[in-house]
Chains A and B, each alone.
Chain A
């Protein structure tokens, strides 16, 4: 076994063995199942291989007319029947175990992946395309499963078959067995050559496929925009390019991988012919029976079959490994900076930002030397032209990103010194881009507080003025939200209700009211005013009327604070803010 094992490993090109180790480590958690699988594989293979021996013995009894011993043949045949029945049951049970192993492994990997997704820094996720990550978690792991399933079913029994066959063959004829052994490496060489070619092609295929999936994701998700611009033909053309490129790689990958089987089969056929030749000569010289030759021929076939299987398993494994590699890339990506264990208590709301520098890309500083203090309960409005760093500011407050320099403290506590959860649960956030879960209205409103009662949920819905439309929906709270069943504004209202239910001590509102009609907005402002009372709030908004009553207004431009103060003092100052404010009332002409 050691020998063939070594050979098998050699066939895998460098780099993939590291991935293989990782996969094995994952599988290795189910040791008991593996032991049973191996045991069943070994016992069923031995039984199944013993059957041709018995058939050979039976055939030897059928020498010529008149000299046939039916009693002996009958004995052999009954024994065969028992072995066949037993091995069938064992094979079935082995298959069940292998199934469980493969599916369980995929389940484990996927569940690891989803945990990793929750723990990856946003700087990583913001860089990845959604489609690509989804492909890794779903399609790649699936390929991995297919590969593993095939692998388990055939690799183990293949190796055992080879060994047992050799033993049985040796018992029949040493010379022929040696000849078969000598020929074996030829088969390996052929398989190795092909495998190394197809691994490269599979890698290219997977990469191009990832690009294509990303394109599909982008276009299909935004199909309406494509239509609106009548660009169907153009995206189709773009798709065609990737598609054609993929076609080239796929064709090579499919072709090369499908060569392994016929190649090893040809080697096999040559060996078969040699066995027949040498066997016939040996019979003529009286050292072998016809039944013995039959057994050897059957074994020569069976001995090579696992090589065929193994080589096809290896191509399948290669594909699976290429996919596994992508999956592990994701799983092993550097997670967020480890957090400190300290918990932040429900905050009073004193937020102090001290000389903060931050940039997404090192070469392009974005926020520089940012300093300001929000008193507990105060409302801070952040205004400024688009792209001035307001959204980034929220990323920092929520610790989606960490500051490069300086510090942010809440109630005097540095936010990097406490757990992210304890920090974030002190904030209620409504983002510019509405995101709702696929689920019921209830699931969505109770998102931050899953144990909320219906009364609480309805109250939050009423406070955020979405009860109006929820009431009219079939099933009300149980109505399932679909992406297109709600208007943008309704989604926004639900996002607000979501925060309304949690009543956190601090609020972050990122242009939250931008697509809610202004009638409702007024009502929301009232509700927010209620909610904001005694809570530290940060509002990023363009509607200056909404920040009219803010205690402190920060006017930002290009990552820096231009002006600070309340509305009246800023108006008096007659600076940037005043211009901004006045433009709201200016006409077009």
Chain B
């Protein structure tokens, strides 16, 4: 919440000027009853038409000044509120960019998207209204009271008593509603989740003829949301009629005691009219304040939730500069020393006590059952997660001692899920290396067997990639993702089961091409297929998070039971042979 408000600082000038001009406008409004009282007491009382006309001109002048002040205020308020929302959105986006995998796992995509979109919009709305109206209404309320005191102290005491009572009602309702609004927002989040799910799983839902049940489920959540909203509405709508009732009771008392004061000769009729007008102004402003507070409630709840995301600090701290020179002279590229790791969400280790060394230029295959920790293991090399125990070194240096860019710069990773981003193919290819030229990109595409994909698209490298690469097939996406990593010309290439959608012939060509790339690239191939790793210099065999074998294909066939089992499962013909 505070964090969110701090974004107003940049718009200090606007944030002061907007309410200031609004107050000037309100000041004009406050003067009006006085002028009217003067018309009644002096103009009408003395039958002085010239006096009435002069008062009329003053009233017109007040109106013109009012609109000028008001426009100025609206402009500053719009500028500040939109500015704050824009900055806030950018800052939140950037903040999320700083999250490590651990925080992303914990917060979840849906939450972050809601915070980025509707929550920030609500805040913009809130800031805008707050700047324009928050000060204006209390100013008029208290201004009216002060004016009342100037007219008659005894009658003004009614104002002084009514205002606190009204304040208690207004703020009491507000306090009850704040937690309720955040509950209804949570119901909305749930509905959003289902909608997304329905879109992403549309094929499966249709294949299983589950449309009706999905609709039922949605309806149920939808009804729950409506119920929640209505419940909050029931409470918050007491505010308007409640304040109206109270203020009129105050006015009744005012007229009654006003009559007494006139009877005793302490007050004139025009003054009673002025007091009555001030009371009327209070109603109008309080009603405005009440509806304003409802909107502000919502915005504050949203701001609070945005603040929560800001409060999540990226769990991973990177060194600003490298500690000493990395031992690049040695020929060990990646080494694990007694590495264990567990996700924060689970108690059990995902990988346990892993030690191995990969020399520069070697190809390391990693194979093992589902959920055995293969992906986890390679995710530790670029430090997507920090090890729980042990050390991971790259070029002889602990990965935790690298500045961020230095480490990511060395490593090209092709994740399991092939994802492309909206833009051109060229833009996608430049992800790892902004300065790559077309020759470099071409070379990477050739090696990744993706050249034909690009050539098959109209516009070649300039062909449009739709969101999430929707206009490419799974296999095409995988190859492009591999090319994307190769454009980086990394020292270490990690293929995390990234050729699963490729046919064997293409997969083979791909591995050959990568092998033949110039440079001394260390390659990690995570795969389910023995065919993909059998030619690796070293194959690591994982089973339930532990390293149960390492060596060449031939050696493993001799001594590693798990590996043999995997191999024969894929080549049943060989078993008999």
Contacts and interface: CB of A to CB of B under 8 A. Distances in A.
Contacts of A587: 534-535
A164 interface: no
Contacts of B203: 122, 398, 400, 429, 431, 435
A413 interface: no
A interface bracket (residues with beta carbon within 8 Å of B): 35 or more
Interface in B216-243: 218-219, 222-223, 225-226, 229-230, 233-234, 237-238, 240-242
Given A216-B93, A519-B566, A432 B474 contact: yes
B75 A243 contact: no
Contact of A80 (B55, B252, B565): B252
Given A125-B202, A438-B197, 7 more contacts: A63-B269, A92-B240, A131-B113, A213-B117, A276-B55, A280-B40, A517-B367
B6 interface: no
A500 to B, nearest CB: 13
A578 B570 CA distance: 18
Interface stretch (B45-53, B161-169, B300-308, B326-334): B45-53
B59 interface: yes
B384 A224 contact: yes
The 3 closest A-B pairs by CB, nearest first: A386-B475, A489-B370, A269-B63
Nearest to A120: B202
A65 B262 contact: yes
B67 A266 contact: yes
A459 interface: no
Given A91-B241, A129-B467, A400-B203, A104 B195 contact: no
Contacts of A63: 269
Interface string B149-186: 00000000000000000000000000000000000000
B255 A58 contact: yes
A383 B284 CA distance: 75
Interface string A197-226: 000000000000100111111111111111
A92 B47 contact: no
Contacts of B191: 110, 138
B206 A236 contact: no
Contacts of A209: 117, 121
Contacts of B466: 129
Interface string B93-108: 1101111110011001
Interface in B495-512: 497, 500-508, 511-512
A429 B467 contact: no
Contacts of B570: 518, 521-522, 543, 545
B241 A89 contact: yes
Nearest to B509: A583
B508 A583 contact: yes
Of A103, A254, A283, most buried by chain B (CB within 10 Å of CB) is A254
Contact of A424 (B209, B258, B272): B209
A94 to B, nearest CB: 9
A116 B491 CA distance: 50
Contacts of B109: 220-221, 223, 483
Contacts of B431: 229, 231, 234
22 contacts: A61-B259, A68-B263, A107-B225, A111-B219, A130-B200, A134-B195, A209-B121, A214-B467, A216-B93, A219-B93, A227-B97, A229-B484, A235-B97, A254-B82, A269-B59, A280-B40, A290-B269, A437-B201, A515-B370, A517-B566, A583-B508, A588-B511
Contact of B44 (A234, A280, A297): A280
B146 interface: no
Interface in B184-201: 188, 191-201
B60 A270 contact: yes
Given A228-B415, A247-B86, A96 B368 contact: no
B369 interface: yes
Interface in A466-524: 469, 482-485, 487-490, 492-493, 495, 498, 502, 511, 514-522
A130 B252 contact: no
Given A222-B421, A290-B270, A519-B369, A100 B252 contact: no
Nearest to B29: A269
A39 interface: no
B84 to A, nearest CB: 10
Interface in A273-301: 273-274, 276-277, 280-281, 283-284, 290, 293-294, 297-298, 301
B52 A281 contact: yes
Interface string A120-150: 0010011001110111011100100000000
B241 A88 contact: yes
Contacts of B404: 230
A581 B404 CA distance: 44
Contacts of A51: 248
Contacts of B264: 65
Given A135-B117, A448-B209, A518-B529, A387 B43 contact: no
Contacts of A234: 431, 434
Contact of B209 (A48, A421, A542): A421
B208 A447 contact: yes
Contacts of B97: 223, 226-227, 232-233, 235-236
Interface string A307-328: 0000000000000000000000
A451 B209 CA distance: 14
B197 A437 contact: yes
B467 A518 contact: no
A513 B201 CA distance: 19
Contacts of A485: 345
Contact of A230 (B63, B104, B405): B405
B208 A115 contact: no
B214 A114 contact: yes
Contacts of A236: 90, 93-94, 97
A81 B248 CA distance: 8
A273 B60 CA distance: 6
Contacts of A226: 97
Nearest to B210: A447
B93 A239 contact: yes
A280 B277 contact: no
B453 interface: yes
A323 B237 CA distance: 25
A305 B284 contact: yes
B286 interface: no
B206 A398 contact: yes
Contacts of A280: 39-40, 43-44, 52, 55
Indicate the member of A114, A142, A236, A484 with the most B CB atoms within 10 Å. Answer: A114
B536 to A, nearest CB: 9
B2 interface: no
Given A62-B262, A99-B230, A88 B117 contact: no
Contacts of B118: 138-139, 142
A65 B272 contact: no
A90 B491 CA distance: 75
